[in-house]
Structure 1
């Protein structure tokens, strides 16, 4: 008998209160043959996703299925189960093996990624399970202050409570690349490809150590330019993840101003330079306007949110794309691009909710450098 298995899992906080849901459908997707869900206490998104898959496969086996088409909105689980991605994280390896052992009992099985909105039944079950988990592992009403470690005085709140946003947000950790020679000389550095300086390498490693200790990151996505990719690679190594490249996260094309200082560009094209500083629709000569950058950065943001809904993604890019993502999250006007300052190797955080709401949690953190 052939069935369709839809599975989902999630965590509010990553790690945080977690749960999973799975539903087994008839081959024509008209009848529900089985469904299952459970709270699993405190866990990461990826652990919850694997637990949902395992439960779905077990349920399919129990109804007598011999063939299964599995659909999930976790790209990581789908790619790992399909054998296209390696399983690196030690917490996932035993779950992956358990899922494979069950899968091997079927005559045929396939794995397909689907957007979250196409996985609504399993998503609903998983969210109900997370509601239960949140009650089981809820934080105390007042912070518990440890005399040994003052860091426990931090109280993390969900900005959704102030905005009315619904659903689990996709959290983007926005890391700017480390120092290059052009940034030392304060020159326009767009599509040119300078390498990190020795200090830039140290900055990338410091950020990687911080992010590795922090954990809870599901994917690393980077600009194709070397300075960003090398910064991302350091973090990916600390997180035991691969770097995925997104061309839309590349820096602005400064055209004829590439490699010039501010003063040199202003002297070369005085009137155009003045207009460019006031109007995001104006491009540098043979270059790209900030409005054009915004269009492709929005594509990248929409793609990341669609493919990794409710997950935490490290995005390693450049000053303009990161400013643009923060502008999008704030729903701010173009003037913010000229007023935000982002240091090299700095970290900012933006969250995007399924209903279109967004929030900014952090801007320009450099305490780890």
Structure 2
């Protein structure tokens, strides 16, 4: 006997990109019974990646249940239109996910896609939010509590009737190519750590104190400027932290690039290290051993009188969004400090918090991150120091 199922799938990201998760519910079409639920985190990524992940999880669960026909219902118009072949996929990062979904579609005799409003996708949305809160369930086993996760038979009938009155269900034939005729331009950020200061050379915590570049730091800044000019002959602007060590580095980059404008972004300022400012790691560990240990274990913990990495991450994401909105589709240099650049790279690489204490960034080192309009991210370079040799 053939089994027809409804797959309701969703995904979300708190920050776009940010902590993301997906949810999928597989429902027996004839009875409205929930046959499977799946939800999981997908790290730090975009809404679109999370939505495609929910679709894939739902199709996998339907295949494992032996379904022969699948009606996919999602509130993501982008996924529905792209999988239906009406929209091409401009973001290259989404094409592998779409290709995976297309391979899964081949397992069924019939697959259709229907867009539904968000309020009719509450079960999958709830699972996606549960995943973003740290939940995980990839079991395709039947769900006991149908009432909380699935519609009743009467509600299902209403929803099917509403769908019939709305957009027609589309039987999918995956397109021959996911690529569009022309790629949408990415916003490229060339991330540059400021040159060396006296405190950098002594390996002291240097946060909000306005420490100038040393003579060696200025030489490093000049070398980084030449490197940026070579990497980006079309550089549109330089955006910098307001502190003088960054502003001086930014001025050298602007000069080497032919006088491009320099903009100041307060959100790019270094972490406030509070009472640890100006001290070495060894000094802090000796005087504040318990506080240091808690700080190393959690990004939510701040140095005494200072700022947590979690707080820095929040303002850095705001700064990144503002910079991207102002310079979409162009190449810009972003001059900042160790902590902000690490946090930008952590988000871009979907890395864990351990990344922050494992990545080393040299003074005047260069990293490159591309971001597309739909939120997809590609990291091209991390801590390039060839220009300093």
Q: TM-score, normalised by structure 1?
A: 0.55
Q: CA deviation at 1:242?
A: 2.1
Alignment of 1:264 with 2:283, yes or no, is: yes
* 1:190 match: 207
Q: 1:365 to 1:161 in 2, by over 3 A?
A: farther
Q: How high is the TM-score relative to the length of structure 2?
A: 0.53
SS in 1 for 2:211: coil
Aligned to 1:300: 319
User: Could you say if the C-alpha distance between residues 162 and 189 of structure 1 is closer, same or farther in structure 2, counting changes exceeding 3 Å?
Assistant: farther
Q: Does 1:234 align with 2:252?
A: yes
SS at match of 2:386: coil
RMSD (Å), alpha carbons:
2.0
Check if 1:282 corresponds to 2:301.
Answer: yes
Deviation of 1:159 after TM superposition, in Å, equals 6.5
Q: Would you say how many aligned residue pairs link Structure 1 and Structure 2? A: 214
Find the residue that maps to 1:248 and give its secondary structure. Answer: helix
Whole-angstrom CA distance in 1 between matches of 2:200 and 2:227: 23
Structure 2 partner of 1:335: 354
Match 1:175 to one of 187, 192, 197: 192
Distance 2:97 2:337 in 1: 29
- CA gap of 1:163–1:225, structure 2 versus 1, over 3 A, is farther
- Provide, for residues 207-254 of structure 1, a one-character-per-residue CA deviation record: whole Å limited to 9, x for no partner: 111222331211100000010110010001111112100000000000
Whole-angstrom CA distance in 2 between matches of 1:313 and 1:234: 14
Larger Rg: 2
Distance 2:97 2:243 in 1: 36
Moved over 3 A (4+): 158-167
Q: Is the 8 A contact 2:370 2:380 kept in 1?
A: yes
Q: Which residue of 2 aligns with 1:152?
A: none
- Pairwise CA distance, 1:163: 7.0
Between the aligned partners of 2:368 and 2:341, the Cα distance in structure 1 is 10
Separation in structure 1 between the aligned mates of residue 200 and residue 282 of structure 2, nearest angstrom: 15
2:351 is paired with a residue whose SS is coil
- Give per-residue Cα distances to partners, 1:245-284, cap 9 Å, x unaligned: 0000000000000000001111121101011011100000
Q: For the residues of structure 1 that align with 2:256 and 2:97, how far apart are their CA atoms?
A: 34
Aligned to 2:362, what secondary structure does the other structure show? coil
Q: Is the 1:248–1:300 contact (alpha carbons within 8 Å) kept by the matching residues of 2?
A: yes
* CA displacement at 1:168 relative to structure 2: 2.2
Runs of 5+ unmatched residues, structure 1: 1-130, 132-157
Deviations 1:1-36 (A, max 9, x none): xxxxxxxxxxxxxxxxxxxxxxxxxxxxxxxxxxxx
Task: Specify whether residues 159 and 204 from structure 1 end up closer, same or farther in structure 2 by C-alpha distance, changes over 3 A only.
Answer: farther
Shift of 1:201: 0.5
